[in-house]
């Protein structure tokens, strides 16, 4: 058993993709305490009144950044990020991303956005 697990129990990660930001949090399973997190703002695209969009590549990069920075924070706290045993994901529930099945590229560029 690592020092991290003996002190905090297995760690639980959480990716929180919201309407204005992305966060990655890490919890101690023994206490449900948030050990550390990182948050990145994600800009809005409002092509016309009543519409709300976000660039899916910016969301992806924000998720990667938040995970990397949070793991660096854990390292600085002498907590082993390899003890993260599960990660939950929350999102905006109505999020949809369309992509070209041949190229794998998002279709939002093809739509003029």
pLDDT for res 84: 96
CA distance 30 to 12: 10
Q: How many helices (H) and strands (E) does the chain have?
A: 2, 4
pLDDT for res 54: 85
From residue 61, alpha-carbon distances to 7, 34, 48 in Å are: 32, 23, 25
**Tens place of pLDDT per residue across the chain (113 aa):** 567 788 999 999 999 998 889 999 999 999 999 999 999 999 988 888 988 888 888 999 999 999 999 999 999 999 999 999 999 998 876 666 777 888 877 775 444 44
Domain membership of residue 107 (yes or no) is no
User: Taking a C-beta distance cutoff of 8 angstroms, is the pair 59, 22 a contact?
Assistant: yes
Domain membership of residue 95 (yes or no) is no
In sequence order, the β-bridge partners of residue 17 are 22
Structural domain total, the chain? 1
Domain hosting 67: range is 3-90
pLDDT for res 15: 96
Hey, CA dihedral for 69, 74, 80, 85, is it positive or negative? negative
pLDDT for res 95: 65
pLDDT for res 55: 85
CA distance 107 to 104: 9
- The CATH number of whichever domain residue 82 belongs to comes to 3.30.420.40
pLDDT for res 40: 97
Strand 11-17 versus strand 34-41 pairing type: unpaired
């Amino acid at each position: 058993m690592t020092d991290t697990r003996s002190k905090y129990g297995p760690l639980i990660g959480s990716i929180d993709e919201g309407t204005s930001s992305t966060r990655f949090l890490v919890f101690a399973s023994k206490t449900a305490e948030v050990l550390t997190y990182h948050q990145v703002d994600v800009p809005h695209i409002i092509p016309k009144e009543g519409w709300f969009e976000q660039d899916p590549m910016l969301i992806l990069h924000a998720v990667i950044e938040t995970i990397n920075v949070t793991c660096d924070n854990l390292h600085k706290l002498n907590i082993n990020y390899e003890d993260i045993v599960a990660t939950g994901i929350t999102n905006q529930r109505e999020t949809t991303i369309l992509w070209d099945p041949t190229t794998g590229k998002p279709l939002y560029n093809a739509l003029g956005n």
